[in-house]
Every structure is written in structure tokens, then in C-alpha cells.
């Protein structure tokens, strides 16, 4: 149960870079649809909520909620030992938040410069995780794919 996606190909070209701001929802839509491959209906993107991560007690650096349905945690790391130690807790926290808030789906994103190595570790941990369901997804993407998330447009 659950799904794992690895994306090690080239980052989105600069002219299609993603960004979050009060006025640039297209960046979020591009990231979710093209980088994560989500086929959410258009109305999901009518409400976009972006938050910084959970601070020192959390591994993820950013949280995005779309349309009261989809929860995304983004975690930027290149540390394999940290992934081994913290990924199960991050996945459990995301699933718990999804359920607590009555959302439909949770997508955890690990952004890294070493997609193959981190992806291999994440894949094994995800496979062995017993407390997941078909609405929990894990994506391992290139750090460049999230480089502009959270930055304001100028």
C-alpha cells in the first residue's frame, strides 16, 4: 500500500521554475502537477495554504495544503542517516495530520542532491512501513525542483 516516486531527471527549466507567493499559484500547480504527477481536479487549487515546517521537532521544512484535500510535506536533506532515522516519523506525522484534518491524501517529498542514494534508502523504509495506506505517497525529487518554493515573486 502507498506509493513511492523517484525523480532524478533534470530539474524543471528556469523558465518553468516553481515558486510560492500570494499571487503566484501557478508555481504550486506546476510543482504538484508536473513534478509530483498529481492529477488533482482544478478546484483543488482554489485554496492553497503554505506553512513553514514544524520547527526543531519536525524534519519537514515546508507544508502545503491544497483545497482542503491534499497535504504535502517537503523535506530538504542530503543526509542518508537522517533519512533512515527520521523518515518513518515524518510519514507518521503527515498521515496523522491528514487524518486529523479530514484531508484525502498525503504526499511526502524528500528533496535531495542525491536522488539515487536517498531514494534507495527511502524506498526500503517506505516499503517496510506498516502504518501506511493507499493515500500516502512518497516522492524523492531533485533539490532543484523545490529551490524556489516559498520564495516571493518580485
Label residue 54 by pLDDT band (50, 70, 90).
low
pLDDT, greater one: 149 or 146: 146
> Any idea what the CATH number is for the domain that residue 109 is in?
3.40.91
**Cell numbers for 12:** 524543471
- Is 135 among the domain residues? yes
pLDDT of 152 strictly over 60: no
Domain count for the chain:
1
Give the three-state DSSP class for 102.
coil
Instruction: Select from 141, 152, 91 the least CA-distant residue to 116.
Output: 141
Q: What is the pTM of this model?
A: 0.81
Between CA 145 and CA 152, with CA 146 as vertex, the angle to 5 degrees is 125
pLDDT, greater one: 141 or 40: 141
For range 106-131, the mean pLDDT: 94
- Is 12 among the domain residues? yes
Q: State which residues form the domain around 79.
A: 3-146
Amino acid at each position: 500500500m502507498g506509493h513511492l516516486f523517484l525523480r532524478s531527471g533534470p530539474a524543471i527549466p528556469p523558465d518553468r521554475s516553481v515558486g510560492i507567493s500570494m499571487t503566484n499559484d501557478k508555481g504550486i500547480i506546476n510543482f504538484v502537477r508536473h513534478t509530483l504527477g498529481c492529477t488533482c481536479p482544478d478546484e483543488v487549487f482554489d485554496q492553497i495554504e503554505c506553512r513553514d515546517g514544524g520547527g526543531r521537532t519536525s524534519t519537514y521544512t515546508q507544508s502545503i495544503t491544497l483545497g482542503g484535500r491534499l497535504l504535502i510535506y517537503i523535506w530538504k536533506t542530503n543526509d542518508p542517516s537522517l533519512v533512515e532515522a527520521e523518515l518513518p516519523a515524518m510519514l507518521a506525522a503527515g498521515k496523522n495530520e491528514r487524518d486529523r484534518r479530514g484531508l484525502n491524501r498525503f504526499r511526502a517529498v524528500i528533496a535531495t542532491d542525491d536522488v539515487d542514494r536517498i531514494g534507495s534508502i527511502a524506498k526500503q523504509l517506505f516499503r517496510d512501513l506498516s502504518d501506511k495506506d493507499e493515500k500516502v505517497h512518497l516522492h524523492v525529487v531533485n533539490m532543484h525542483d523545490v529551490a524556489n518554493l516559498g520564495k516571493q515573486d518580485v
